[in-house]
Chains A and B, each alone.
Chain A
Amino acid sequence: DIQMTQSPSALSASVGDRVTITCRASQDIGDLLAWFQQRPGKAPKSLIYAASILHSGVPSNFSGSGSGTDFSLTITSLQPEDFATYYCQQYSSYPVTFGGGTRVEIK
């Protein structure tokens, strides 16, 4: 199975800050990586697929980059609604695997 390692597991930031979350795959997955946002008590919401393509309706302050084994999600100018938990996911091969999550908290 492909292991996905996210860091940090949690971070504190203020509204307006720039935040970067990283995700490392245990083997080359090309660009077959997605990012999800999950608010408490809600289903995950897809933000990015193919490492860098924003889903329709996702604000442009979200961006993704990377390929191979190293990826990142950047949120420029954090908004109040962006405080949530973020997960990376590889879909290069079954089983699909998720990173452990990064909780973005208000400082």
Chain B
Amino acid sequence: QVQLVQSGAEVKKPGASVKVSCKVSGYTLSGLSMHWVRQAPGKGLEWMGTFDPEGGETFYAQKFQGRLNMTEDTSTDTAYMELSSLRPDDSAVYFCVINLFDPWGQGTLVTVSS
């Protein structure tokens, strides 16, 4: 059974960067399409981006262009999402999810506050 385990909660100051990890167990990360979705407190789901293993490309939502970097370490089956130039409205729970549907990680709360 494939499971995703994410890194723990983070508190960051405005302007800083955060890097969230998502470790795959029960399968190999190679060939999987990992997506990242976030959810601000009390708000809906927002897709951030994905790495497409077939074409070797990353696709980011326009609003995160220039601030978002998604990487993978296939030797440890771990995906990473790094968001820079953090603002208070980046405070959210960040989820990783395989192939857009299932399974999902448990979520990582990122709080941006001075």
Interface residues of A (CB under 8 A from B): 1, 34, 36, 38, 43-46, 49, 55, 87, 89, 91, 94-101
Contact = CB atoms under 8 A, between A and B. Distances in A.
Given A55-B101, A91-B100, 10 more contacts: A34-B101, A43-B105, A44-B37, A44-B45, A45-B102, A49-B101, A89-B45, A89-B47, A95-B59, A97-B47
A46 B62 CA distance: 25
Contacts of B61: 94-95
A46 B105 CA distance: 13
Which 10 pairs of residues, A with B, have the shortest CB-CB distance? Answer: A43-B104, A96-B47, A46-B101, A95-B61, A98-B45, A46-B102, A94-B59, A101-B44, A100-B44, A87-B45
Contacts, number: 49
B80 interface: no
A79 to B, nearest CB: 21
Contacts of A46: 101-102
9 contacts: A44-B37, A45-B102, A89-B45, A89-B100, A91-B100, A94-B50, A96-B35, A96-B100, A98-B45
B47 A98 contact: yes
